[in-house]
Amino acid sequence: MIDVLLGLQWGDEGKGKIVDFLAAKYDVIARFQGGPNAGHTLYVNGNKIVLHTIPSGVFHQHCLNLIGNGVVIDPVTLNKEIEAIVPLQSDLLSRLFVSQRAHLIVPTHRALDAASESSKGHEKIGSTLKGIGPAYMDKTGRNGLRVGDILSKNFHRKYEALKAKHLEILARYEHVINWEELEAPFFDAIEKMRSLQIVNAEYWLEDQLKKGKNILAEGAQGSMLDIDFGTYPYVTSSNTVAGGVCSGLGVSPSKVRDVIGITKAYCTRVGSGPFPTELVGEEGDALRKAGAEFGATTGRPRRCGWIDLVALKYAVMLSGVTKLIITKADVMDGFNPIKAAVAYNIEGKVTKELPYDLCDVDIAPVYKEFPGWDNPIGLCKTFDELPEVFKSYCTYVAQYLNTNIAYISNGTGRDQLLKVMSEMPTPTR
Ligand code: GDP
Ligand code: IMO
Ligand code: MG
């Protein structure tokens, strides 16, 4: 069966850490969407690792890792990641598989991303500038290059044709980055990609399922960045909700079992766009400092605010979340009171539904307050040891979202997890 793990907010919920922990009980970890805009942080033996394209199961030797068709791959980033991981996991390449249907990010995609963003001025998306939007545009526009193409003798011809299209568009922009210098590293990386295990991934996965293997689909970004359901246009270009798993891996919905949704105990967003519970000024700065909220991919400071249960409930509904994980509980130490948005007051009308438009309306969150606590959550070894007020906060969140909490995460380490659901694996500290 396939379980899904995805972010319920605007990304960076701690997916990498949780996948790295849960991978112990799965045979295959499969990325189904996104690309090098993702930055998934893991701590392995005290070393910090940030993964962008490679699934977060690579540090478990029994785990196979698949980059699915729904992912867009920058060969240069992928190659850099491989080179960084091989000294730590010498058998990495024997456990890494790439769908032949995954699309490629080419140097001119990055140039188009940068040019489009700079032309938008104040309305820019705040893209990671990794070429994600243009690569998905070429996919849906039926112009894209796929991993399988690199094995064809026509690859260079197809590449030149796509580049020519891009150059026509780039000619209309004022600010164009120097993409020519990216071409040589791109072709070097393509050469290296040819020796990877490029597979017909939908058959490969079907075979794994027939063998009774357990698969975890690893999401990137978060539900509020979904191309259809996020805070459009301030979103990414893929389906980040559970629906993206079927199209991003080539598996049927009937194979999906659990949907594990992750939220921080508060909320962050990096890049532009609406963020109703954002704290600007000292409180926001304090959260950023306590949570070390700086982007894993771009290093940008993340915007910080209170947990938004209205947006979370929407995300839980969209993906049918069966298990909830709350991360970064330790970061809330010292904040008093702690707030949770339980409704939106939109120009005088109170609602618990996420509105169609969050950009051009005035949203005042309606907050419920919880008292703070004294004993540090990071030191707790079991759920029972948590401060009573934090436990009531968890109960409230679970009831509001009408779902069950599987774990509370209280630190960056793989095993800094407090088990709440008895059937889940037990962390060993
Ligand atoms: P992802 O994109 O969802 O994988 O998340 P990121 O790796 O971009 O950002 C999450 C950050 O929070 C990383 O620096 C993690 O090491 C860190 N982190 C994850 N869980 C916890 C936690 O429970 N407590 C603390 N303090 N940090 C955490
Ligand atoms: P992980 O997987 C947080 C944001 C960008 C920008 C918008 C569009 O680490 O959670 P894009 O590069 O896709 O064109 O950017 O989406 N964004 C993320 N924010 N975490 C991510 O990934 C993100 N990937 C993209 O900041 O606002
Ligand atoms: Mg991240």
DSSP string, 131-162: SHHHHHHHHHTT---BGGGGGSTTHHHHHHHH
Whole-number pLDDT of residue 61:
95
Atom number, ligand 2, closest to the C-alpha of residue 270: 26
Residue 427, classified by CB atoms within 10 Å of its CB into exposed (0-12), middle (13-18) or buried (19+), is middle
What mean pLDDT, rounded, does the chain reach? 96
Q: What is the pLDDT of residues 72-88, one digit of tens each?
A: 999 999 999 999 999 99
Determine if ligand 1 sits within 6 Å of the CB of residue 247. Answer: no
Decide: 156 and 187 in contact? Cβ < 8 Å: no
Whole-number pLDDT of residue 332:
97
Nearest CA to ligand 2 atom 14: 127
Cβ count within 10 A of residue 146: 18
pLDDT (average), residues 291-304? 92
| Residue 429 pLDDT > 90 | no
Decide: 81 and 54 in contact? Cβ < 8 Å: yes
Pair of tokens at residue 178 = 């120097």
pLDDT (average), residues 143-161? 97
Residues having C-beta closer than 5 Å to ion ligand 3: 12, 39, 296
Query: What separation in Å is there between the alpha carbon of 59 and the centre of ligand 3?
Result: 18
Decide: 37 and 236 in contact? Cβ < 8 Å: yes
At residue 68 the predicted structure's pLDDT band, cuts being 50, 70 and 90, is very high
Atom number, ligand 1, closest to the C-alpha of residue 222: 3
Closest CA to 356 of 368, 346, 369, 341: 346
Query: What separation in Å is there between the alpha carbon of 221 and the centre of ligand 3?
Result: 7
Whole-number pLDDT of residue 297:
82
The set of protein residues with a Cβ atom below 6 angstroms from ligand 2 is 7, 10-12, 34, 37-40, 125-128, 130, 132-133, 220-222, 225, 236, 270-271, 296
Query: What separation in Å is there between the alpha carbon of 20 and the centre of ligand 1?
Result: 12
Atom number, ligand 1, closest to the C-alpha of residue 409: 23
Whole-number pLDDT of residue 428:
84
Determine if ligand 1 sits within 6 Å of the CB of residue 13. Answer: yes
Cis amide bond preceding 36, omega within 30: no
Whole-number pLDDT of residue 88:
94
Query: What separation in Å is there between the alpha carbon of 125 and the centre of ligand 2?
Result: 10
Q: What is the pLDDT of residues 373-428, one digit of tens each?
A: 999 999 999 999 999 999 999 999 999 999 999 999 999 999 899 999 989 999 98
Nearest CA to ligand 2 atom 6: 127
In angstroms, the CA 284 to CA 83 distance is: 37
For the chain, domain boundaries: 2-100+200-259, 103-192, 264-419
Query: What separation in Å is there between the alpha carbon of 329 and the centre of ligand 2?
Result: 22
pLDDT (average), residues 252-258? 97
Which parts of 219-354 are beta strand (E)? 256-264, 267-269, 303-305, 307-308, 323-327, 338-346, 349-351
| Residue 298 pLDDT > 90 | no
Q: Which residues of 291-320 are buried (b: 16+ CB within 10 A; e: fewer)?
A: bebebbbbeeebbbbbbbbbbbbbbbbbbe
| Residue 98 pLDDT > 80 | yes
Q: What is the pLDDT of residues 211-242, one digit of tens each?
A: 999 999 999 999 999 999 999 999 999 999 99
Closest CA to 221 of 110, 325, 123, 295: 295
At residue 296 the predicted structure's pLDDT band, cuts being 50, 70 and 90, is confident
| Residue 164 pLDDT > 90 | yes
Ligand nearest, relative to CA of residue 221: 2
Whole-number pLDDT of residue 333:
96
Regarding the domain delimited by 2-100+200-259, which CATH topology (the fold level of the hierarchy) does it fall under?
Adenylosuccinate Synthetase; Chain A, domain 1 (3.40.440)
Confidence (pTM)? 0.97
CATH number, span 103-192: 1.10.300.10
Determine if ligand 1 sits within 6 Å of the CB of residue 35. Answer: no
Three-state SS for 285? helix
- Spatial neighbors of 205 by CB under 8 A, at least 6 apart, are 28, 30, 66, 215, 249, 250, 251
Q: What is the pLDDT of residues 123-148, one digit of tens each?
A: 899 999 999 999 999 999 999 999 99
In angstroms, the CA 68 to CA 330 distance is: 34
Alpha-helical segments (H) within 86-227:
107-120, 132-140, 155-170, 180-193, 201-210
In angstroms, the CA 324 to CA 305 distance is: 20
Atom number, ligand 2, closest to the C-alpha of residue 13: 10
Three-state SS for 398? helix
In angstroms, the CA 311 to CA 317 distance is: 10
Q: Which residues are catalytic?
A: 12, 40
Closest CA to 148 of 194, 109, 192: 194
Question: 264-419: which CATH number, 3.40.640.10, 3.10.580.10, 3.90.170.10, 3.40.190.10?
Answer: 3.90.170.10
Whole-number pLDDT of residue 24:
96
How do 349-351 and 338-346 pair as beta strands? antiparallel
| Residue 175 pLDDT > 90 | no
In angstroms, the CA 125 to CA 117 distance is: 7
